[in-house]
């Protein structure tokens, strides 16, 4: 019998990528329980049509998550800062995922997280302001703080990188000027940006679930490419 992976954010970039990766491998030994607030979304219906079990739950309601995770072997946890722009809310949602996974007795959680940018800058560095009182980059730093909630849970910390998809999703790609030339502003000098296709994050998560116990208690960082601004421009 296939082991159930409860996928939080199954209609989003990362969760959707994992759901589709599992569905594309019917012999992987896993099945998808797609967690979404609205099962009537087109993306949710598309997953159901491909064989996913679609379940309604809300990250702000830990009891709904406990029900959604019941009987699952694994949980893929992710939060979306861009829905509310609150680091504190994001941490509260992460805690709900961790608490619900613990209550449900799941065997493996893959938590999609990011690095704490404050570790790379001194407290008196003025180049970047402190936002929301104590964060340099709230959607990074809050996820990193939330890692602590998964203590005591059989979990893997999956540290992701910039989605190349964001260049288009957030309108960051080069824009055509009046002179017909494309230009963009990306303040990175000669540095290289670590990036990955959003879909590949889900495929990586599936690989971690397949590998099982060897990744429990570990942190896995992933990137697809490391590109300069010139290389990025040449690829678009």
pLDDT on residue 140: 97
Q: Is the residue at 152 inside a domain?
A: yes
pLDDT on residue 173: 85
The dihedrals phi and psi of 108, each to the nearest 5 degrees, come to -160, 125
Please report, in tens digits, the pLDDT of each residue of the chain (236 residues total).
899 999 999 999 999 999 999 999 999 999 999 999 999 999 999 999 999 999 999 999 999 999 999 999 999 999 999 999 999 999 999 999 999 999 999 999 999 999 999 999 888 898 889 999 999 999 999 999 999 999 999 999 999 999 999 888 888 888 899 999 988 888 889 999 999 999 999 999 999 999 999 999 999 999 999 999 889 888 87
Q: Is the residue at 213 inside a domain?
A: yes
Count of structural domains within the chain: 1
pLDDT on residue 12: 94
Q: Is the residue at 19 inside a domain?
A: yes
Q: Is the residue at 29 inside a domain?
A: yes
pLDDT on residue 185: 82
pLDDT on residue 226: 96
pTM for this predicted structure: 0.94
Q: Is the residue at 32 inside a domain?
A: yes
Q: Is the residue at 23 inside a domain?
A: yes
Residue 72 sits in a domain whose CATH number is 3.40.50.720
Domain with 141 in it:
3-162+197-222
Q: Is the residue at 227 inside a domain?
A: no
Q: Is the residue at 79 inside a domain?
A: yes
């Amino acid at each position: 019998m296939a082991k159930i992976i409860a996928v939080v954010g199954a209609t989003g970039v990362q969760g959707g990528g994992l759901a589709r990766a599992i569905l594309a491998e019917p012999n992987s030994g896993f099945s998808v329980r797609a967690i979404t607030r609205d099962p009537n979304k087109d993306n949710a219906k598309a997953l159901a049509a491909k064989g996913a079990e679609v379940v309604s739950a809300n990250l702000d309601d830990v009891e709904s998550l406990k029900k959604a995770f019941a009987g699952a072997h694994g949980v893929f946890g992710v939060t979306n800062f861009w829905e509310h722009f609150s680091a504190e809310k994001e941490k509260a949602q992460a805690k709900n995922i961790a608490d619900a996974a613990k209550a449900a007795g799941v065997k493996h959680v893959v938590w999609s997280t990011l690095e704490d940018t404050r570790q790379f800058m001194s407290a008196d560095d003025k180049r970047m302001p402190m936002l929301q009182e104590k964060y340099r980059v709230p959607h990074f730093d809050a996820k990193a703080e939330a890692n602590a909630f998964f203590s005591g849970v059989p979990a893997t910390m999956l540290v992701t990188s910039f989605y190349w998809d964001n260049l288009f999703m957030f309108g960051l790609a080069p824009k055509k000027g009046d002179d017909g030339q494309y230009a963009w502003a990306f303040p990175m000098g000669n540095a290289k940006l670590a990036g990955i296709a959003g879909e590949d994050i889900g495929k990586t998560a599936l690989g971690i679930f397949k590998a099982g116990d060897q990744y429990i208690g570990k942190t896995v960082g992933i990137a697809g490419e490391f590109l300069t601004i010139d290389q990025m421009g040449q690829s678009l």
